[in-house]
Amino acid sequence: MTEQRPRTRAVRAGINIDPAHSAVVPPVFLSTTYAFSGIGRPGEYDYSRSANPTRSVLASAVAQLEGGAGGVITASGMAAVTATLLGLLPPGGTLVAAFDAYGGSWRLFDALERTGRLVLRLADFTDPRALDDLAGADLVWLETPSNPLLRVTDLAATCAAAHAAGARVVVDNTFASPAVQRPLEFGADVVVHSATKYLNGHSDVVAGAIVAGTREVADELAWWANTLGVTGGALDSYLALRGLRTLHLRMAAAQANAAAVADLLVSHPAVTAVHYPGLPTHPQHALATRQMDGYGAIVTFDVGTEAAVRALVDGMECFCLAESLGGVESLISHPATMTHAAMPPELRAGAGITEGMLRLSLGVEDPADLVADLRNGLDRALDA
């Protein structure tokens, strides 16, 4: 069979594989248990926590899109983070994680460090000096573009430095999705996702994904996910598979909307800063152009004060004030009081998160409506 392109693979994952009725769309298998054909003779599936046919179709689709050897679907992004961490880090091992990693990941790393289970070192991987400081690391944890400042890490250089230091590399690819960036191509060992975001894409499923570059590591992490009991549900997998079919179309539309909105933001007098890798003024714009297919669909900006934030947000019609990202609908969030509220203020300030900062997750609406709505909000912020 001819090799299919990623967009075709995403659309056609599991299509027309049903041996019972030739259903074009693969059925959802809700059964928790599967009959043995005799003593000591299980079929391919025996119990749904260990493996489920619907989940398997999604896992292999995500693994193919990431260019990996195998995948695991988990009950949430944090379940993927937990299984990966426990599976890859030796007891008492040293984890070097991006200092601006997702707050929930940081909370887990910090809790495991405080209870003596690992040694945590935080690093700014956008600073090349961090690459000289990886001695003793067992695992390196990256997130690029980062949240909410959209800093971009050089994946090839960081993976090479980590491997030279004897460490394995995990990349949280939630913010880009495999339609935009494939970290395994740059040397990462494992990719994790909050599939709650772009992979599902409709803000109606909480799920996670792990993809490993080798079959051996994929099997090891599948073992951990099963043993911990954090594998994903059949219905969630079915919905996420449906969402995944349009990943490339959604990402193209959302990225175009992000570019349109960034154009408005750089020209509006209410805005004091814009963080978006697609802007030539972004410090890692050239790197983003090299390692991403596009610049993602998140745009962060600053309007200076909390009063301006309130004036902008009150009255938005096309952006919901809500946490999360990656759905077809556009969202606006205030990191200081929402996604990053649990972070100690000094760490928040160190990560560059201000009171006047807002983060947009662009959906797939008509760009003219999004730009008009945001322009009205910015005009309100200017008067605040």
Ligand X SMILES: Cc1ncc(COP(=O)(O)O)c(C=O)c1O
Interacting residue ranges for ligand X, rule: CB under 6 A: 76-78, 102, 104-105, 143, 147, 172, 174-175, 194, 196, 206, 208
* Residue 309 CB, nearest approach to ligand X (Å): 21
* Residue 292 CB, nearest approach to ligand X (Å): 15
**72 pairs with which residues across the strands?**
210
In the bound state with ligand X, the residue whose beta carbon lies nearer, of 77 and 367, is: 77
Calculate the alpha carbon distances from 38 to 42, 51, 78 in Å.
7, 19, 38
Kindly name the residue from 100, 138, 172, 236 that is annotated as catalytic.
172
In the bound state with ligand X, the residue whose beta carbon lies nearer, of 140 and 264, is: 140
In the bound state with ligand X, the residue whose beta carbon lies nearer, of 264 and 332, is: 332
* Residue 208 CB, nearest approach to ligand X (Å): 5
Calculate the alpha carbon distances from 74 to 129, 150, 227 in Å.
35, 26, 12
Kindly name the residue from 197, 250, 348, 380 that is annotated as catalytic.
197
* Residue 323 CB, nearest approach to ligand X (Å): 7
Peptide bond into 148 cis (omega under 30): yes
Token pair in block for residue 101: 């990693």
* CB-based closest residue to ligand X: 77
In the bound state with ligand X, the residue whose beta carbon lies nearer, of 25 and 120, is: 120
Does residue 197 carry a catalytic annotation? Answer: yes
* Residue 189 CB, nearest approach to ligand X (Å): 17
Kindly name the residue from 100, 102, 168, 380 that is annotated as catalytic.
102
CB-CB contact of 234 with 28 (8 Å): yes
In the bound state with ligand X, the residue whose beta carbon lies nearer, of 104 and 350, is: 104
Does residue 172 carry a catalytic annotation? Answer: yes
* Residue 269 CB, nearest approach to ligand X (Å): 31
Kindly name the residue from 9, 18, 34, 49 that is annotated as catalytic.
49
In the bound state with ligand X, the residue whose beta carbon lies nearer, of 198 and 377, is: 198
Does residue 121 carry a catalytic annotation? Answer: no
Among 133, 132, 156, 134, CA closest to 144: 156
Among 151, 170, 150, 148, CA closest to 159: 170
Does residue 189 carry a catalytic annotation? Answer: no
Residues labelled as active-site residues: 49, 102, 172, 197
